[in-house]
Amino acid sequence: MKSHDCHIMMQQLLPVALRSVLPKNVGKILIELCEFFQNLCSKVGSEEDFKRLDQSVVVLMCNLERYFPPGFFDVMVHLIVHLAQEASLAGLVHYRWMYPIERFLKQLKDYVCNSSRQRAR
């Protein structure tokens, strides 16, 4: 899967799938995490929105600590706390995505091929 596929799965499909599978309290926290990423990656946002997200993610992480073991929390999980602050400093996440560049690089990669191993098109 590409990074964009994981992004869509986390924001759109995971909340729907978690509703009926997990206990309600755990599912609610994970759905809130998915909503956090959905709000963070929206195309429209203001400074107040990012401040609200920055405050809500701390409560969200504390709730995650109630249900998941300490081994779950590594550096990557800790970085979630800093994402809203980074978005308020650097601007909307939507304009800093690498997805268009990744697609263009794939297109360039398709142009380059070894003539002895040329694939059928």
Q: Identify the pLDDT of residue 2.
A: 66
Q: Identify the pLDDT of residue 3.
A: 67
Q: How many CB atoms lie within 10 A of CB 58?
A: 11
Mean pLDDT of all residues in 79-85? 86
pLDDT confidence band for 121 (50 / 70 / 90): low
Q: From CA 28, how far away is CA 67, in angstroms rounded? A: 11
User: What long-range pairs does 26-29 form, CB within 8 A, spacing at least 24?
Assistant: 26/67, 29/60, 29/63, 29/64, 29/67
Mean pLDDT estimate for the chain: 82
Q: Identify the pLDDT of residue 20.
A: 81
Mean pLDDT of all residues in 2-25? 78
Contact assessment for residue 50 and residue 87, using Cβ atoms and an 8 Å cutoff = yes
Q: CB-side exposure of 76: number of CA atoms within 13 Å?
A: 2
Q: Identify the pLDDT of residue 59.
A: 92
In the chain, where are the structural domains located? 3-111
Query: pLDDT tens across 44-64, in order?
Result: 878 888 889 889 999 999 999
Q: In terms of pTM, does the model score above 0.85?
A: no
